[in-house]
Structure 1
Amino acid sequence: MLNFSIFGLTLYEKIKTMLWDGRYSLLTAVMAGLGRALSEVGAVLIVGGNINHYTRTMTTTIAMETSKGDISRAISLGIILLIIALGLNLIIHIYQTKGKKHSYV
């Protein structure tokens, strides 16, 4: 922030510039948090329970279907969840490489 003082920028302009320069890192952090939230089975079961059509998530449904013995449904849901996770990782990778091309370092 001290280096911005030579440009005579206002506080709003400084914050705007810092957010713009860090947009790829911020997006990566948000996507990593989303991936982390998708993978939390235990926390979802403890906090939200497993109420059908209200608090059930894919991860809790996979755990429930596995315990019921419906392995084919659990595997199909697992594949869908894996595709979502791989898609998020692909988006993160694309934005990170795009950010490296536009960085000054």
Structure 2
Amino acid sequence: MTTLQQELLSLKSQFENVDMNDASCQTQRLIITTKLEELRREFRELLIKLQERQCELSGMIPSDEEDEMDPHVRVRLRSASVASKVSLRSNEQRQLSA
């Protein structure tokens, strides 16, 4: 993992040091961004493998937590709408008065 971290730091430095006056700066930044995405994917895969190994060693059954490890995947938590909240309250009041 330290090699991966070194590559990330190197790419970050390259990205920050791209000469914005150079005509090929957009191409250079695109190449660096693509490499960063590949490294992020590789890092996620390494974390998943590490987690699986830890589960095997501890005797736990591994669960599918890949989506939870991906920062771009967000689970939308649903809340009750106003109409359903009013309906729930009226049902509770009916039960209390009965």
TM over 0.5: no
| More contact order relative to length (CA 8 Å, sep ≥ 6) | 1
**Scaled by the length of structure 2, what TM-score is found?**
0.43
More helix by share: 1
